[in-house]
Amino acid sequence: MTNYEETMELVSLNDNSRKKYYWKNHLFYIFIYLMAAITILVLVAIIGYILINGIGHINWEFLTSEPRSMGREGGIFSIIIGTLYLTVVAIAVSAPIGVLAAVYFAEYAKESKWVKTIRFGTEVLAGIPSIIFGLFGFTFFVIFLGFRWSILSGGLTLSMMILPTLIRATEEALKTVPQSYREGSLSLGATKWQTIIKVILPSCLSGILTGLILGIGRAVGETAAVMLTAGSALGLPESLMDPARTMSVHLYILASEGLSKEKTFATASLLIILVLLINTIASKVVQRFINKAKA
């Protein structure tokens, strides 16, 4: 390696065009290094700025007391609970539907026009702006079905948003299960359904979990669709039919109405920590999944 560089240097001293080539190479290296550095810097700057401004205001009282005077004072306890409820409803609805739909696509459906159309539909669904889901949820769940602004309306809307990601992730996970597992199970006299439940799904559980965790991330981060369907009430929700405010919505209102800079950044910090936590868990799970596949 050093030998090569020394030679290059000698050559470059003698040969003008080689020298040029050498410098071009170096320039390019510096250029891509800069680009990478900028990316990281932006990320660090955003997270750092929020955390520096917010983390000092997160304390026990902030986490456990309810907001007072529109959120200027007090904490975000009811909002944490609202976020939790909404996410649980969204996952509880989308997980069974998503996993079973993926099982249908991966294990039962033959490659027909019909299946291709549905699959295309799911992919389009994943790319639709969330406000469209919000609008649909508002007109369908909130008004037409009369669920009003509630955790139920919000959860159902979020579950529709999560579904495409979840179906996709589960389908990909199912595809990684070797055909030999299916053959082994069927050859022992298992039915197709037993094979799926007892061998195939357990062996790709981590892949499905990853899809779920990404879905949770999307649910936690969503603002517009949630405001339109779950409302933005500050009180502690007591049933599925109560409206609720999630952390993202709270953050949006605090910031747009200029209620309290401290509380805004504290909420933002908590949200970042939550999202980072979810992503860390997701990548850990993925890693385990990969290791298992290698074994």
Partner 1 sequence: MNAKIKIENLNLYYGSFQALTDVNMNIYEKKITALIGPSGCGKSTFLRTLNRMNDLIDSVRIKGNVLLDYKDIYAKDYDIIKLRKKVGMVFQKPNPFPKSIYENIVYGPRIHGINDKQKLDEIVERTLKEVALWDEVKDRLKKPAMGLSGGQQQRLCIARCLAVEPEIILMDEPTSALDPVATLRIESLLEELVRKYTIVIVTHNMQQAGRVSDYTSFFLSGRVIETDETDIIFSNPDNKKTEDYITGRFG
Of residues 10 and 197, the one with the C-beta less far from partner 1: 197
User: How far is 250 from 239, CA to CA, in rounded Å?
Assistant: 20
Q: CB 187 → partner 1: shortest distance, Å?
A: 4
CB of 115 to partner 1, least distance (A): 14
* Residue (55 or 190) nearer to partner 1, CB: 190
Q: Helix, strand, coil proportions of the chain in percent (round to 5)?
A: 80, 0, 20
CA atoms within 13 A on the CB side of 118: 14
Between 195 and 210, CB nearer to partner 1: 195
Question: Based on CB atoms, which residue is closest to partner 1, 110 or 146?
Answer: 110
Q: Which is nearer to partner 1, 125 or 186 (CB)?
A: 186
H-run or E-run covering 273: helix 261-294
Q: How far is the CB of 284 from partner 1 (least distance, A)?
A: 19
Nearer to partner 1, 4 or 294 (CB): 294
CA within 13 Å, CB half, 220? 21
End-to-end CA distance of the chain: 36
Name the minimum Å distance from CB 177 to partner 1.
9
- Nearest approach in angstroms of CB 285 to partner 1 is 16
Kindly state the smallest distance separating residue 117's Cβ from partner 1, in Å. 20
Q: Residue 127 has which token pair?
A: 């790319």
Structure tokens at 121: 């539909």
Nearest CA to 171 out of 112, 108, 125, 117 is that of 108
Q: Which of 277, 153, 120 is nearest to 227 (CA)?
A: 153
Tell me the C-alpha distance between 280 and 142, whole Å.
Answer: 35
Residues that bind partner 1 in the complex, under the rule CB under 8 A: 110, 178, 180-191, 194, 198-199, 202-203, 292, 295
Alpha-carbon span 257 to 252, nearest angstrom: 8
Paired strand residues for 67: 74
The smaller minimum CB distance to partner 1, of residues 20 and 175, is found at 175
Q: Closest separation between CB of residue 203 and partner 1, Å?
A: 5
- Tokens coding 69: 């005077």
